[in-house]
Amino acid sequence: MHDLGILAEFLKLPHQPVPRLFAQFGPERLLVADFSRLRVHAPFIAMMPQWDFLNFLAEKAKALPGFRLIMQTEARELLRQRGRITGVAAQTVDGALEISAPLTVAADGRSSRMREVAGLRVRDLGAPIDVLWFRLSRRSSDTDETQGRFEAGQILITLNRGAYWQCAYAVPKGGFDDKKAAGIATFRDELSRMLPFGSERAEELNSWEQIKLLSVQVNRLETWWRAGLLCIGDAAHAMSPVGGVGVNLAVQDAVAAANILARPLLQNKLADRHLKAVQHRRERPTWATQRLQVLIQHRVLLNVLRSGSAFRAPLALRIITAVPLLRDIPGRIVGMGLRPERPRFDAWR
């Protein structure tokens, strides 16, 4: 945002800055990520509704020649000509629509229809957990901190969204059915013992309709592209919610794609090697991030959920937080990623 010259305006949108992330392991409280020490223009995570974020980008994009945003439209099939993808067949509220393009970018998420119809192979890395999402009210007397709490058999993440708490409660894969079978009252009782604010707030949950299941996936495409098509973000690599870095990698994919593809597109010289170059640049940081997420899922989260007694913070985390030279590593990985991308405006001409 700073490189594009719109950071100050962007930060006028309603958001909650998170300069640090804390985790509570029983009585042990650790600072697990400190973004305030990063050498960037906004040394914090900005918690912002996705809709506000996307609306902001759309408004800025409207000033660009050739930009067109079509709402309430679903891409259903890919158009092909002589073995090359040449656009999409879509369905709008007004009927069918065909859109032709020299390049189609599939950014349609972890359940990507476009990668499916393109026949791209997905490698599933496995996920032993699911996440239950729900909201609880937030009061002025509550802490401001976004934090995680880890107790024997329970994991709760509370995200400060200003007017409310967005809560993520981890369960073993398929464990939501067990929770529902035990009843909402039992779930409220379990939750009340984990809340970092008034335990009575759990009483706001009176129906399973208030709780949404996020079926966690961790996977990636073996090949991110076909002639005329490129997948980015979750369409190319579904990330675990560990670290909340999915949006980071998606934006980095987009910036890398712009840097590599803008000039060939402008010169009408786009070739398969350019699409391959995008995957080559982004594949290693994606692979490394997913490997770290899978390790944390199995070695930390699953162990906590299976534990019947007090659970200490992992030794590696205690060492990182205790050694000054290592303390900045988690903040950099979560806040900036393993390969940050910067827009190269010279490549866009």
| pLDDT tens figures, 47-80 | 998 899 999 999 999 999 989 999 999 999 999 9
What is the per-residue pLDDT for 324?
A: 83
Question: Which class would CATH give 7-74+105-125+218-348?
Answer: alpha beta
Q: What digits encode the pLDDT tens for the residues 178-223?
A: 999 999 999 999 999 999 998 999 999 999 999 999 999 999 999 9
- Helix/strand/coil for 38: coil
On the 0-12 / 13-18 / 19+ scale of CB atoms within 10 A, 59 is: exposed
What is the per-residue pLDDT for 232?
A: 98
What is the per-residue pLDDT for 346?
A: 87
What is the per-residue pLDDT for 189?
A: 96
Bridge partners, residue 37, by sequence: none
Q: Would the pTM of this model clear 0.85, i.e. be above it?
A: yes
On the 0-12 / 13-18 / 19+ scale of CB atoms within 10 A, 41 is: exposed
Delimit the domains of the chain by residue range: 7-74+105-125+218-348, 129-214
Residue 310's φ and ψ, nearest 5 degrees, are: -55, 140
CA distance 56 to 61: 9
What is the per-residue pLDDT for 308?
A: 79
Sites in the chain below the pLDDT cut of 50: none
